[in-house]
């Protein structure tokens, strides 16, 4: 009987391996759908509180994991066969070349060298294949530095809104359910002025673009325009603040809430009457803002309308109707005569006043619950937040669908966008504040611990891009506002 040479035997073995591998892959592919169906049937027969969409997503993920490890197992078997074949070939070649049987030590050296190379290849292949699976489960690590700089305590009830003056002196304004609005020194945390002209909750505060004038909206169905004169105190050395990354959190109870009765605003100057009172609404005025130039103001009310006023005469210029339920917020464009209003009817509307003769309106639909706020950002983008736990970024030229969607674990309140760095600050009902970029990537979460952070619902955020000490402010129903220094490395933003 003829005897096969070593090269022929190796070729036949390689051919058999390729054939068995292709059969294994065909069997794997043909049975994937059957396994998926069987897994779904098994899960459907089990009692689970998970929504069906979540369960389907989990099934797909575990199916991916199973397929990856099955492929790794097949590759492992092939590599083992290659190791055995090379060992046999080394032994045969050693006898042919030397004409005599090689010593066991020489064969062991050659075989171990070949085996170590293949073992390294196997480890590399395994690491590369599994890293794709592991990376999908990793939480984004944040190198953002979020440092608490100052706490502003003096209100006797929850704070609904926070805003930063656009002119010198740069002060912080807060609007509270205690019927007052307070102005603060950002550096020292001292109250500089108190406005007491409203007889209802003060729901928002906005500063005039060029003058020392504030606009406040109230539950007394009015919006007030009032002038303030403040003198900034000499900054004192700030206490040492713990620098924390944006992912640290320690839970604590509401009993640690700041005591607003220790009123830091009792000795500050008081403004008792407005320059102008805007009266046309039949319900709570929930928000107000200045149009570009500061000669007109817009208000949003629970009577389902938004009103545009002439500031100098207090006359109603336009009544903006169309929302089906109460309005929750209004915002104006920084450089154009555009207004966006949000509502409990799950929509927000864009009102265009650039042409004095007509004004157009566009309706944005995409949320499934109350739209708590919608704000302008750079270019032609609007960012909206909702009680449906999502934040959406929209292009004004395409109203049909958002260009980015951020999904969170809690209702989102009044958001604010840092125009320069294109960062969205999200205040939540669950006391968290998260930072995202415009593409929906999470950059940081403001720290909460026994010593810092909000203890109850966070109502609003406001950026101050030019301030050297604090560039983000938050306020909440724990009766305090907080100034933060946020440092987002450029490399992290690019990612």
Residue spans of the domains in the chain: they are 160-229+268-429
Which residues of 223-321 form beta strands (DSSP E)? 223-227, 243-245, 270-271, 276-278, 285-290, 296-301, 306-310, 316-320
- Total residue length of the chain: 495
pLDDT attached to residue 54? 80
Question: What gap in Å lies between CA 217 and CA 300, rounded to an integer?
Answer: 9
Alpha helices, DSSP H only, in 99-211?
104-135
pLDDT attached to residue 451? 75
pLDDT attached to residue 120? 57
Question: What gap in Å lies between CA 186 and CA 96, rounded to an integer?
Answer: 88
pLDDT attached to residue 9? 53
pLDDT, one tens digit for every residue, the chain (495 residues): 444 455 555 555 555 555 454 444 444 444 555 555 555 555 555 567 778 888 888 888 888 888 888 888 888 888 888 888 888 877 776 654 444 444 444 444 444 555 555 555 545 554 444 444 433 343 444 468 899 999 999 999 999 999 999 999 999 999 999 999 999 999 999 999 999 999 999 999 999 999 999 999 999 999 999 999 998 887 665 444 444 444 444 444 444 455 544 456 678 999 999 999 999 999 999 999 999 999 999 999 999 999 999 999 999 999 999 999 999 999 999 999 999 999 999 999 999 999 887 788 999 999 999 999 999 997 789 999 999 999 999 998 888 899 999 999 999 999 999 988 899 999 999 999 999 999 999 999 999 877 789 999 999 999 998 788 899 999 999 999 999 999 988 645 554
**Cα dihedral 262, 267, 272, 276 sign:** negative
Residue with tokens 């706020």: 373
The string of DSSP letters for 184-230 reads E-TTT--EEEEE---SS-EEEEEE-SSSSEEEEEETTS-EEEEE---
Question: What gap in Å lies between CA 234 and CA 255, rounded to an integer?
Answer: 33
pLDDT attached to residue 37? 59
Pick from 433, 467, 26, 458: nearest CA to 249: 433
- The SS3 call for residue 442 is strand
Q: Please classify residue 210 by burial: count the beta carbons closer than 10 Å to its beta carbon, then call 0-12 exposed, 13-18 middle and 19+ buried.
A: exposed
Which residues of 291-359 form beta strands (DSSP E)? 296-301, 306-310, 316-320, 327-332, 338-343, 347-352
Q: What is the CATH architecture assignment of 160-229+268-429?
A: 7 Propeller (2.130)
Question: What gap in Å lies between CA 308 and CA 101, rounded to an integer?
Answer: 101
Residue with tokens 């009457």: 273
- The SS3 call for residue 145 is strand
Q: Please classify residue 352 by burial: count the beta carbons closer than 10 Å to its beta carbon, then call 0-12 exposed, 13-18 middle and 19+ buried.
A: middle
């Amino acid at each position: 009987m003829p005897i096969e040479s070593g090269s022929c035997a190796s070729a036949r073995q390689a051919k058999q391996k390729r054939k068995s591998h292709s059969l294994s892959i065909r069997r794997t592919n043909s049975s994937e759908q059957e396994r998926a169906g069987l897994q779904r049937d098994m899960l459907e027969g089990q009692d689970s509180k998970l929504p069906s969409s979540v369960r389907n997503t989990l099934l797909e993920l575990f199916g991916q994991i199973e397929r990856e490890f099955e492929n790794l197992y097949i590759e492992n078997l092939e590599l083992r066969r290659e190791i055995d074949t090379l060992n046999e070939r080394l032994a045969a070649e050693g006898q042919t070349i030397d004409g005599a049987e090689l010593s066991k030590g020489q064969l062991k050296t050659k075989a171990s060298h070949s085996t170590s190379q293949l073992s390294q290849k196997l480890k590399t292949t395994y690491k590369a294949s599994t890293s794709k699976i592991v990376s999908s489960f990793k939480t984004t690590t944040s190198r953002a530095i979020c440092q608490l700089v100052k706490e502003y305590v003096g209100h006797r009830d929850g704070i609904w809104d926070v805003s930063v003056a656009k002119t010198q002196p740069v002060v912080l304004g807060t609007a509270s359910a205690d019927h007052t609005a307070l102005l603060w020194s950002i550096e020292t945390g001292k109250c500089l002025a108190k406005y007491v002209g409203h007889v209802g909750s003060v729901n928002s505060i906005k500063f005039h673009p060029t003058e020392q004038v504030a606009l406040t909206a109230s539950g007394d169905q009015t919006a007030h325009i009032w002038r303030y004169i403040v003198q900034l105190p000499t900054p004192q050395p700030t206490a040492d603040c713990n620098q924390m990354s944006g992912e640290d959190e320690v839970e604590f109870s509401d009993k640690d809430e700041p005591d607003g009765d220790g009123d830091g605003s009792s000795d500050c100057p008081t403004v008792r009457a407005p320059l102008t009172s805007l009266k046309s609404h039949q319900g709570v005025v929930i928000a107000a803002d200045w149009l570009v130039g500061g000669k007109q103001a817009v208000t949003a009310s629970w009577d389902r309308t938004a009103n545009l006023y002439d500031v100098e005469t207090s006359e109603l210029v336009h009544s903006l109707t169309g929302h089906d339920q109460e309005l929750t917020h209004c915002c104006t464009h920084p450089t154009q005569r555009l207004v966006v209003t949000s509502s409990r009817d799950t929509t927000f509307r864009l009102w265009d006043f650039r042409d004095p003769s007509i004004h157009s309106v566009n309706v944005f639909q995409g949320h499934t619950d109350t739209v708590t706020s919608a704000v302008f950002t750079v270019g032609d983008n609007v960012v909206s937040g909702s009680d449906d736990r999502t934040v959406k970024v929209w292009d004004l030229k395409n109203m049909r669908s958002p260009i980015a969607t951020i999904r969170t674990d809690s209702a989102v309140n009044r958001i604010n966008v840092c125009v320069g760095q294109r960062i969205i600050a999200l205040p939540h009902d669950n006391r968290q504040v998260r930072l995202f970029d415009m593409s929906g990537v999470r950059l940081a979460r403001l720290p909460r611990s026994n010593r810092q952070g909000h203890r109850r619902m966070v109502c609003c955020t406001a950026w101050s891009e030019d301030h050297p000490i604090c560039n983000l402010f938050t306020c909440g129903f724990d009766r305090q506002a907080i100034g933060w220094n946020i440092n987002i490395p450029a490399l992290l933003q690019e990612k």
